Amino acid sequence: MRIAGAVLGLLLLLAACTSSGDSGDSDEPRAEPGDRCRGVSHDEVRGRTPSYGAKRLRSYPVDHAVCAAYWIDHADDGFVPQGLALRGRTAYVGGYGWVEKRTDRACQVAKVDLRTGRTTGFTPRIEADVYGGRLTFCRHGGGLELTDDGLWLAEAERLWLLDPDRIGRGDPVVRVWRIEPGIKGSTLLIHDGRLGFATYAAEGSGRMTWFALDDVRRPGVDDLRHAVRDATDAGVTGRGRVPNRVQGITGDRTGVWHSSSRISCGELHGPRGREVASVPGAEDVQFRGRDLWVVSEAGAEPWIDEERVPMLLRLDRATVLRSRSACDF
């Protein structure tokens, strides 16, 4: 009995010490009871730390919901994240290499090991014979999706299908489609058997253009058009509007969610007009289980605003969905 009493006393003492430590004043964001994640510090961000920018992270409304965060190894080479796709413990982060001339910003794709934060593959340029007789390279790279067919990459004028296992290992191009003018691939979503492109608009709403995924996948189809002209075309099956500044799209059982941002603020627009806070500079997003994954361009050297924002982040989904957006777009 004395031993049991001593053990009980020790447990009570430890509990009191823990309680005392938790109740002290702190400048760190306070997590709600039951939250899975409580934010990360600058030193906890995985991957190779960029040489530029301040050695501190930016504060924002849902920074306490961050579970893990990553740098991309090629940040010092001007890599700007835009798109995101996940498979198991691997993230594919699409983007572009920064140069002054916008039309020379080549699509790039990084392959990241989510356990270690290491970039295990990197494709600096994607090109193919798209128009006959000459190579055309992918520019900007606004959206990524991953299906059994492969890794889909959208840009303004073309849609690319890549072999994810060849990222960093030679030519990854499997197939490419031309996009008719007026249908701009600023970002991409594959959801419920449909493939959709959203158009970015700084003011007012942007456009959403839908195709049937089976039409796009059909052998011999290489043009995505407003209306079908011949057997080599897939035609638009639906249209809609998206919020201004849309940078990424994802879907879940409730419907389609849109990621809008500027460098200093980010928000998610959900079904039925719902708006919640996101990451500054948020681009593409993806729900997976209890997590929300986000890529941000706010930590890229061309766009950084003093304090850093990691390039890839995993956040607690429930905490984010309880938040309110403070952006004023």
- The CATH code of the domain that includes 83 is 2.120.10
Distance CA 279, CA 59 (A): 10
- Residue 194 structure tokens: 């449909």
- The residue written with tokens 């049991």 in the block is 4
Q: Is residue 138 part of a domain?
A: yes
Q: Is residue 23 part of a domain?
A: no
| 3-state DSSP of 59-84 | CCCCHHHEEEEECCHHHHHCEEEEEE
| Count of structural domains, the chain | 1
Which is more confidently placed, 71 or 11? Answer: 71
pLDDT value at position 306? 81
260 near 250, Cβ under 8 Å?
A: no
Whether residue 3 is predicted with pLDDT greater than 70 in this model: the reply is no
Residues 225-255 have pLDDT tens digits of: 999 999 999 999 999 999 999 999 999 999 9
Look over the chain and give the mean of its residue pLDDT values, rounded to a whole number: 90
Q: Is residue 146 part of a domain?
A: yes
Residues 63-94 have pLDDT tens digits of: 999 999 999 999 999 999 999 999 999 999 99
Distance CA 162, CA 281 (A): 26
Q: Tell me, what amino acid is at 163?
A: D
Q: Is residue 165 part of a domain?
A: yes
Type and span of the H or E element at 12: helix 2-22
Residue 5 confidence class, pLDDT cut points 50, 70, 90: very low
Mean pLDDT of 32-37: 65
Share of the chain above pLDDT 70, in %: 89
pLDDT value at position 17? 35
Q: Which domain holds residue 212?
A: 35-321
pLDDT value at position 329? 84
pLDDT value at position 142? 87
Q: What is the pTM of this model?
A: 0.88
